[in-house]
Structure formats: structure tokens, C-alpha cells
Amino acid sequence: MRNISLPQRSQRTFWSPVKAHSAGAPAGFDRMGWARRFCGTGFLGSDIGKDYKLKSMDLPDARERMVTVQVAGRGVRDARVLAAMREVPRHRFVPEAMAGDAYQDRPLPIGEGQTISQPYMVAAMTAALAPGAADRVLEVGTGSGYQAAILARLAGSVVTIERHAALAARARATIDALGIANIRVVVGDGSNGYPDEAPYDRILVTAGAPAVPESLKAQLADGGRLVIPVGSEGLQHLIVVERRADAFTTSEGEGCVFVPLIGEHGWPASR
Ligand code: SAH
């Protein structure tokens, strides 16, 4: 594994984490229920809102509409998650030519055959993860860095690991350009987790795995929570694993479609 973190920049006040207003599971949010309607990084289609090419001056409005219609409108009620989605400029995490599409109700290509997840999916997974303000979080599958930026608004610190060095470098550049100081980007096989900084209060995997990797369970702190899509390459179910001492409880949601987790505890690279 190669750590490509650059020296941390001084933190802009803009990026001070959102203060926790409550602990534990978000009020009024059915952790698994969201998956029954919308899931996956793949485009499932939607008739909610029309997709327009936007000019840069329209982007804040588009972001507000994204949160109100696509996210809150579908039942994510966690105020901290909604605030983070309002604050993080998603258009900065997509290729420049696609900035005008960044607030559409779908995933977008980011290179290397990978995608930035649909906004609703990011919000719903974040709400399911329910990170606390001081939590140490591991994300597996950095991609564009957008999900990591959302997590960084809500948690104490985020380590995010990506197997494609080019995507990791681009994500790092975006994160630095926005002055986000509490994210560390690592290149490597995240199906092994990132033992160097374990244990983690929260682990979020944003690629589909054949099974819950034992390596990730082992890196969960006592009281920790892991959210991961598990299943075949074509269809997964969202799994939430919670750890109390050495006991693990697992709950399963509905079907989702994510790009594959490729690695030692994921799918083989040759597929
Ligand atoms: N969270 C991302 C989107 C995830 S797409 C965002 O906000 O943009 C899933 C990502 O997981 C892809 O970038 C893919 O390259 C990466 N990935 C797949 N297998 C991996 C592994 N074993 N370790 C680290 N990253 C992996």
C-alpha cells in the first residue's frame, strides 16, 4: 500500500465538521428501508426532477434542489447528512466537462470505468453509517472523493482507500483544493481494510463485495458499524454489521448495484 497523502493544509473554517445534534441512529430514518426504492451506483432512472445542463451560476440552486427533492424527498431526514450534502460542492468532484450534470439524479463516470454514486445513494449510505462527530472513519473505494468529503463533514477523520492510483490522486487534488484537512487518501487494496490506522468507529465500502471481508470486521472498534453492499457482481444487498466487543450483528437491506470491490477479499482483478 502506498500512502499518497500530501502534507495537511491548514483547515479553512468552512470545513469545520458539522456538530452532532444527536447521537446514535438518525431520528425517523429507517436504516434499511431506503434501499427498497433506490439503490446502487447504477442509474436506475427517475422521474423526480428534470435533468438540465447547468451553468455554474445555477449550481448552488441545483444542489439545494438535489437535497430537497432527491434526498429529503425520498426520506433521508438526518439533518447533519442533509447539511453536509448542501455544503459539499459535488460539481467539483466530477470531470470538469460534466460539472453541469453533477446534481442530476444519477451516478456519473469519473474515469477508469468507475462512477461517482448517485447523490441519494451517498446520502442514504451516510445516514445508515451514522458517523459521530469524533468518529474515525474508513471508506473503501475513494473514487472521486465526494463520499469521503461528505463523511469528513460529519466525522472526526476519514481514511479513504482506492485501488486506482490515478483516481486517488485526482481525489486528493480535489480535497486539497477545497481545503479539507481531515481526509487521508491511501492507494491500495481496501478489501484488506487499512490496518495501519485501525480500529475504526465506522467503515463504509462503496463497491460491491462477494462477502463481508473478515479483515474489515476485525478493524471495527467496539461499538463500531460497517456498511457494505454484498452479493453477486450484478446484484448486492446492503449489509450493516455492528460490533459489540467480539459479537457481530448483521442486518440486511434490499437489492443494490455497485461497481465490484476488486481485491484479496473481493472479486479477482481479471474478471
Ligand atoms: N465513493 C466514490 C464512488 C465509489 S465507486 C465516490 O464518492 O466517488 C467504487 C470505487 O471503489 C472505485 O473507484 C473503485 O476503483 C474502487 N475499488 C474497487 N475495489 C477496491 C479495493 N479493493 N480497494 C480500494 N478501492 C476499490
**Domain ranges for the chain:** 15-256
pLDDT score at 13: 27
Distance CA 104, CA 45 (A): 11
Write the single-letter amino acid at 205.
V
Q: How far is the CA of 208 from the centre of ligand 1 (A)?
A: 9
Q: Provide the grid cell at 83.
A: 447539511
Topology of the domain covering 15-256: Rossmann fold (3.40.50)
**Which residue is closest in CA terms to ligand 1's atom 26?**
141
Q: Name the region of 59 (left: φ>0; alpha: ψ -120 to 50; beta: rest).
A: alpha
- Using a 6 Å cutoff on CB, does residue 231 contact ligand 1? no
Element (H, E) at 155: none
Tens digits of per-residue pLDDT, 155-202? Answer: 999 999 999 999 999 999 999 999 999 999 999 999 999 999 999 999
Catalytic one of 56, 117, 157, 215: 117
> In the chain, count of helices (H) and strands (E)?
6, 10
Can 117 be counted among the known catalytic residues?
yes
Tens digits of per-residue pLDDT, 20-37? Answer: 333 333 333 333 333 333
Write the single-letter amino acid at 162.
E
